[in-house]
Structure 1
Amino acid sequence: MKIDTVNWKILSCLQHNARQSNTDIAKQVGITSPAVAERIRKLEDAGIIEGYHAKVSHFETGHQLKAIITLRAFMGRLKPFIEKVTSFNEVVNCYRITGNENIVMEVVLNNQKHLEKFIDQLITYGETRTHIVLSNIVENNPMVKRIGM
């Protein structure tokens, strides 16, 4: 599916506020509300729009720590880790990456003791490196049409 200028404008509107009405989007984009609804449906059907999510504050839900943890898997332990990681409630995002480490995870934890117990579970799979997040500089930066695309 081709993403034209109007579709990029619709995507921009939805990324800034996915709960706004088609009428509000139509006013911003300059087309009718039914046309917005149809374009959104096509963007969803094409898999360009993957879903809509509520952003939940980890801090307000009692998770005092956010950390980035990398894992360098021991020989033969990467596949078992990949199978296990989905069961860890602490893991918000997990990526398999290139480089010296195999995995990078974003995790939320209640406190330092929780972090220690979580790392104890991870070290059976490999070497870990933990970075405590102090603040978010860029978060959920909207996709926009990139120059040269």
Structure 2
Amino acid sequence: MNIDALNWKILSCLQENARMSNTEIGRKVGVSSPAVSERIKKMEDLGVIENYHTTISSFEAGYQLKALITLRAFMGKLKPFLEKVKTYDEVVNCYRITGNENIVMEVVLKNQKHLENFIDQLIVYGETKTQIVLSHVVKNKAIKKP
């Protein structure tokens, strides 16, 4: 889908606040609420808009640690890991990547002991490297018109 300037304005509003009403979006972009609704529906149907979600503070939810863990899978262990990783509650994002490692995961953990136990589950699949996140520098940055 070729996203026109008006759709980019609508997407910008939704990225700013996904709960913004179609009426408010229409006021901001200069079209009627039904026109906004129709455009949003079309972008949803075409997969431009994938989902809407709530961001939860992991710290406030009881997870004191956030970490990035890379995995370099052992021979024959990548495919089993790709299925297993979907079952780990600790993993909030997981990417298959290029380079020396195969996987990078963003994980939330209650404490250091939880991290140790989690790594113990991973090492049967490959070699891990762990970095503790100190702070979030860029958060859910909006995608802009290219």
Which category of TM-score, normalised to the shorter sequence, fits these structures?
over 0.9
Alignment match, 1:62: 62
Distance 2:65 2:133 in 1: 7
Residue of structure 2 equivalent to 1:19: 19
- Report how far residue 2 of structure 1 moved: 2.0
The 4+ residue runs of structure 1 with deviation greater than 3 A are none
Q: How many residues align?
A: 146
Partner-residue secondary structure (3-state), 1:2 = coil
Which structure 2 residues correspond to residues 46-61 of structure 1 after superposition, within 5 A? 46-61=46-61
Note if 1:45 corresponds to 2:74.
no
- Which consecutive residues of structure 2, in runs of 5 or more, have no partner in the other structure? none
Provide the residue aligned with 2:109 in structure 1.
Answer: 109
SS at match of 1:105: strand
Shift of 1:45: 0.6
Please state how far the C-alpha of 1:107 moved relative to its aligned partner. 0.2
Q: Secondary structure at the match of 1:68?
A: strand
**Amino acid across the alignment from 2:83:** E
Cα RMSD, aligned residues only: 0.6
Query: Is residue 132 of structure 2 the alignment partner of residue 139 of structure 1?
Result: no
Is residue 2:17 matched to residue 1:8? no
Shift of 1:83: 1.1
Alpha-carbon separation, structure 1, partners of 2:70 and 2:132: 12
- Gap regions ≥5 residues in structure 1: none
How far apart are 1:70 and its partner, in Å? 0.1
